[in-house]
Amino acid sequence: MVTERKISNIDLSLPSILEMSKLELSDSLVALDQPKYRSDQVWRSIYKEGKSSFDDMTNLSKDLRSILAKNYSIGNASTLISKKSADSSTDKMLFQLPDGELIETVLMRYGPDGHRRGRKTVCVSTQAGCALGCTFCATGQQGFRRNLTAGEITEQVLTMQRLAMAEDKKEVEAGTRSRGEIQGVTNVVFMGMGEPLANYKNMMDSIRVLNDPKGIGIGARHITVSTVGLIPGIEKIAQEDIQINLAVSLHAPDNETRSETMPVNKRYPIEELIDACKYFVDETNRRVFIEYVLLKGQNDTSRHANKLGRILKDLLCHVNLIPVNPTEEGPYRRTGYEAARRFQSDLKKFNIPSTVRMEKGIDIDAGCGQLRDRALAGQT
């Protein structure tokens, strides 16, 4: 059964402390006549311990807690809608920002897989809306509203981290998890609303906060940035000193097919995009993840699979095949599981590793931008 709850908005008119870097936080506390080490305590309380209120930071003096509460908020997003899928594997939240913009965040739970432990992955948004207009994506049809700040991106993970940690602790109390296995969020993917590389600085500022070992401590190799193929951004991220994963939304094996669904292809055609991917591999020694949404009758035949195999055969990559999470208004239908497997089998002939990923949370509008659309239409 799908569960849903609506939470009234909270008036958070104060500036968010999440917008500060470590250095900025230290400087602000020094300006309040506090010793520098206090910034480490506040940072740990917010990002490591997940405190959502200054009153809960009992390692600080009562006076300092009061000063902080008068000057800052810990985030400024209000949870408008929260949904849980029938199988409890997925939570999706719709947040309202102080200016009224709506953004979505998803928490996905995966059980143990072979040698890997179970994991909890947060999918974050980087923009309100999107300018790139991919025809199969609900967000792409909404148009661009604005970039999210670094703090607004980070806050999405913090909110889901509190939920994930609470779940882990309940399992400890129930005896189904040991205290040493409390882990909370294990992975973050920048695959929600918006194009991450079009909001590059704020994206990277958020990644550095999430990766900080004195905070949430998400390992760089557990952070994935997805792009529709903005080549300058791909080249830039290849030069970063933090080795995060790159996922490229390809979704077609030729320019004609790709341009029909992804207008960005007219600016950055497939040949140039594949070259940029090879540049990323050469610079980082890391493979690229190729995201390929399967659209029934549009890009999912053996002919398409063979074309895809030929253009990817010299690229160090892993292909994720994703049957589309259809929108109500969209013209596309979901490729069946057997057809997806046949597509995967065709790719295997080119020695290209791939995974068929069945989308989570279809029953709760977990596809990008879908919950926002329904909320604006008054259908939630």
Q: Model confidence over 344-380: pLDDT tens digits? A: 999 999 999 999 986 665 555 545 656 766 666 565 5
Question: Which position has the higher pLDDT, 375 or 126?
Answer: 126
Q: Which helix (H) or strand (E) holds 102?
A: strand 102-110
The reported pLDDT for the residue numbered 377 is 59
Token digits of residue 35: 């010793």
Examine the pLDDT at 303 and tell me if it is beyond 70: yes
pTM: 0.91
Tally of CA atoms within 13 A in the half-sphere of 326 that contains its CB: 11
**Where do the CATH 3.20.20.70 domains begin and end in the chain?**
78-376
Handedness of CA 50, 56, 60, 66 (dihedral sign): positive
Token digits of residue 289: 């993840």
Tally of CA atoms within 13 A in the half-sphere of 55 that contains its CB: 0
Q: Which of 23, 27, 77, 17 is nearest to 47 (CA)?
A: 17
Is 368 an annotated catalytic residue?
yes
Residue 45 and residue 55 in contact, taking contact as beta carbons nearer than 8 Å: no
Handedness of CA 216, 220, 222, 225 (dihedral sign): positive
The reported pLDDT for the residue numbered 99 is 94
**Where do the CATH 1.10.150.530 domains begin and end in the chain?**
17-71
The reported pLDDT for the residue numbered 367 is 57
Contacts of 132 (CB under 8 A, 6+ apart): 140, 195, 198, 228, 262, 263, 264
Q: Find the angle CA(74)-CA(76)-CA(78) to the nearest 5 degrees.
A: 115
Q: What percent of the chain has pLDDT over 90?
A: 74
> Which member of 130, 134, 137, 368 is catalytic?
368
Q: Find the angle CA(195)-CA(127)-CA(186) to the nearest 5 degrees.
A: 80
Q: Which CATH architecture has domain 78-376?
A: Alpha-Beta Barrel (3.20)
What is the C-alpha to C-alpha distance for residues 318 and 313, in angstroms, rounded to an integer? Answer: 11
The reported pLDDT for the residue numbered 362 is 59
Minimum mean pLDDT range among 43-52, 181-190, 254-263, 304-313 = 181-190
Token look-up 């500060």 returns 20
pLDDT band for 34, please (50, 70, 90 cuts): very high
3-class state of residue 243 by DSSP:
coil
Is 317 an annotated catalytic residue?
no
What's the length of the chain?
Answer: 380
Residue 105 and residue 156 in contact, taking contact as beta carbons nearer than 8 Å: yes
> Which member of 101, 104, 155, 291 is catalytic?
104
Q: What percent of the chain has pLDDT over 70?
A: 89
The reported pLDDT for the residue numbered 112 is 77
* Fold of domain 17-71: DNA polymerase; domain 1 (1.10.150)
Examine the pLDDT at 254 and tell me if it is beyond 60: yes
Question: Which position has the higher pLDDT, 47 or 169?
Answer: 47
Q: What mean pLDDT do residues 319-338 have?
A: 80
What is the C-alpha to C-alpha distance for residues 189 and 63, in angstroms, rounded to an integer? Answer: 38
Contacts of 115 (CB under 8 A, 6+ apart): none
pLDDT band for 250, please (50, 70, 90 cuts): very high
Token look-up 């903005």 returns 230
> In 188-214, which positions are buried (b, 16+ CB within 10 angstroms) versus exposed (e)?
bbbbbbbbbbbbbebbbbbbbbbbeee
The reported pLDDT for the residue numbered 42 is 97
